[in-house]
Amino acid sequence: MVTAAALLATELRFGGADAPDVGPVAVTGFSLGLVSLWSAYLVLARTRHTGVAGHGIDEYRRIVVATGWLVATLAAVGLLLDVATARSYLVVAVPVGLTGLLLSRRQWRRWLARQRAHGRFTSSVLVIGGPTAVEPISTRFDASPGLGYQVVGVCIPGYRGGAGDSLTVAGRRMPILGDENAVESAIRSCGATTVAVAGIDCLDPVTMRRLVWQLERLGVDLVVAPGVLDVAGPRLSFRLVDNLAMLHVGRAPRSGPSVLGKRLFDLVVATVAGLAFLPVVLVAAAAVKLGDPGPVFYRQERVGLRGKRFRVWKLRTMVVGADRLPAGPGGPLATASVFHKCADDVRVTRVGRVLRRTSIDELPQLLNVLVGQMSLVGPRPLLPGEGAGIESFVERRGLVRPGMTGLWQVSGRSDLAEAERIRLDNYYIDNWSMLQDLAIVCRTARAVVKSHGAY
């Protein structure tokens, strides 16, 4: 990608009839220098390190950092040596090369995820921990096959069982290969390339240090699960206290510049989107009125920031009086589910099905965003009393503004299990960021086009 960007910049800058009179040797030398320096910075930034390849945003961040080093170096050389660098050449080469590197890396990540899902390019993992600690880490590894971790055995501290015993986790049987003192023999028997310590309290500091030395000699990687679930990377940092590694979990942003930036983002995007989609809303409103007698809009009471109630704007997609009618023949008015939505709800009108499938019925909620009752991205706004039986569910929701779209809406919408939707909403509340909001907005467009789980 770097070479292709240099060739393209060379052709555009020096290949035309009006190109500056620069000899081919100088042009070739400059291009080779750029390619060599850029490639060297990519190596120094460890952009191909196995610890970041295939997952997380650090892989992309390192590419951007390496490119930043390149630009800084070229600027410094041009300033200190008073060298007239070809600015128009770099204006083409650097953005094209960076974009190509990021896009190609994304394609390689997708390819790698597909390969790992079929059992290729994976790391065989030996998990150390008690039965209750082994289950969550093994379940997470199985739920993310694209990361390439496959649990092949378990060592349980203090285990005194016999050979051939196994532990069943999520319906899969994993062999128990001994206690914490049998790690080396367990690695040799199962061929593990990574050891995962499930829980920081299963091994004392002396045993952990001995394990680190042992795995270093064997050439086996070590990962330690601190037992903190659903906390995003930006909130985590390590601190050393008298050579004791401590994991620091930062607070989620609830005020300050981040919240102000989110509000400004909501105002700008909601204003632009409202003006752009106004003709669509007007046509849809006319269709609602012509298709079924009754009001065009449906104003339903919801619970917002800090428990304050408001009325959400939506185009009406159900028959008038739907609240008093069952969802289907003999069906209940509402289920025990928190997110009760019926795929074949007979109360939805013919026009309403189209509006729901395309999410056009949600567009009037841009008004709620403009007045500050909602945000573009956030957890789904709750009905009064909804989710009251779930511990901390309503209280956590009140910490942020509800959103028009959110994590579970772009991860499967109504086809997701209720527990997964609750988990994704809680994850967003604890870990939201402007970068994540931008990603969710972009993914929302794709989810709307596919219409999976929209009913």
Is the confidence at residue 179, as pLDDT, over 70?
yes
pLDDT of residue 331: 46
Provide the percentage of residues in the chain whose pLDDT is more than 70: 89
Task: In whole angstroms, give the CA distance from residue 3 to residue 300.
Answer: 57
**pLDDT for res 240:** 78
Looking at the predicted structure, is the pLDDT value of residue 286 above 90? yes
Higher model confidence: residue 454 or residue 271? 271
pLDDT at residue 328 above 60?
no
At residue 330, does pLDDT exceed 50? no
Range of weakest confidence among 75-89, 256-270, 427-441:
75-89
pLDDT at 82 over 90: no
Higher pLDDT, 343 or 353: 353
- Range list for CATH 3.40.50.20 in the chain: 123-227
Of residues 281 and 226, more confidence is placed in 281
pLDDT at res. 42: 95
Q: Is the pLDDT of residue 20 over 70?
A: no
Q: The tokens of 412 are what?
A: 């499967």
- Give the pLDDT of residue 332: 44
Are 452 and 415 in contact, with CB atoms under 8 Å apart?
Answer: yes
pLDDT above 90 (res 401): yes
The pLDDT of residue 366 = 95
pLDDT computed for residue 291 by the predictor? 84
How far apart CA 407 and CA 422 sit, in angstroms, is 10
Tell whether the model's pLDDT for residue 41 goes beyond 90: yes
Average pLDDT over the chain reads: 84
pLDDT at 310: 95
Q: Provide the angle, in degrees to the nearest 10, between the axes of the packed helices 2-14 and 24-44.
A: 150
The predicted model gives 281-299 an average pLDDT of 90
Q: Which of 408, 402, 404 lies closest to 269 in space, CA to CA?
A: 404
How far is residue 276 from each of residues 271, 272, 403, measured CA to CA in Å? 9, 6, 20
13-17, 54-58, 347-351: lowest mean pLDDT where?
13-17
State the pLDDT at residue 334. 43
pLDDT digits (tens, 9 = 90+) for 83-134: 555 677 888 899 999 999 999 999 998 898 888 888 888 889 999 988 888 8
Q: What is the dihedral of CA 387, 393, 395, 396, to 10 degrees?
A: -140
pLDDT above 70: residue 16: no
Each residue's pLDDT tens digit, 191-246: 999 999 987 667 888 888 899 999 999 999 998 887 777 777 777 777 877 777 77
The predicted structure's pLDDT at residue 181: 87
In this structure, how many other beta carbons lie within 10 angstroms of the beta carbon of residue 196? 23
Residue 436 has pLDDT above 90, yes or no: no
Rounded-to-integer distance, Cα 295 and Cα 322, Å: 13
Q: 303: which residues sit within 8 A by CB, 6+ positions away?
A: 309, 381, 382, 383, 384, 386, 394, 397, 398, 402
Q: What is the pLDDT of residue 21?
A: 57
CATH for 123-227 is 3.40.50.20
Average pLDDT estimate for 373-396: 87
Which is nearest to 342 in space by CA: 358, 326, 354, 355?
Answer: 326
pLDDT at 368: 95
Residue type, 345: D
pLDDT over 90 percentage in the chain: 33
Over 80: is that where the pLDDT of 183 sits? yes
Q: Beta-carbon neighbour count of residue 195 at 10 Å?
A: 23
Whether residue 141 is predicted with pLDDT greater than 90 in this model: the reply is no
Which one of 10-19, 48-57, 385-394, 433-442 scores highest in mean pLDDT?
Answer: 433-442
Q: Each residue of 61-73: pLDDT tens digit?
A: 899 999 999 999 9
